[in-house]
Amino acid sequence: MSFLDENCLVFDTEEENKLEYTGIHNQFKKIVDDLLSELMAELGVTQEQFIEACSKAAANPLHKKIVDQITAVDNFVAFKKLMVKRNTELNEMALKMAMG
């Protein structure tokens, strides 16, 4: 969350994407990849086992949802939407604090 909070301020609702967005998205993908790698190492799961488990996830709605969230990390449009939403939330919180 701190990564999102620190970087969402760059994102706005304009349709045109800024070059900065790509770098931030790549950093985010690396963070998620590193976290998954650490977790797999802690659990003693190989990359092949992880991929196999993900491919079987469609049979269970909860597992499918988790895999969909993981694979969504690569989706730039979804990432931008998340960042714009978080920017809006932070702006609203700041406004409430300033007024109250």
Question: Can you give the residue range of the structural domain that contains 72?
Answer: 2-8+15-99
pLDDT, tens digit, for every residue of 43-79? 999 999 999 988 998 899 999 999 988 888 999 999 9
Residue 24 contacts by C-beta under 8 Å, 6 or more apart in sequence?
7, 10, 83
Report the distance separating Cα 75 and Cα 93, nearest Å: 27
**What is the Cα–Cα distance from 54 to 83, expressed in whole angstroms?**
26
Global pTM reads: 0.81
44 Rama class: left (phi>0) / alpha (psi -120 to 50) / beta: left
What total number of domains does the chain contain? 1
**CA 52 → CA 14, 68, 69, 74, distances in Å?**
39, 15, 17, 19
pLDDT in the model for residue 8: 95
51: CATH: 1.20.1520.10
pLDDT digits (tens, 9 = 90+) for 2-58: 999 999 999 998 999 999 999 999 999 999 999 999 999 999 999 999 999 889 988
pLDDT at 100 over 90: no
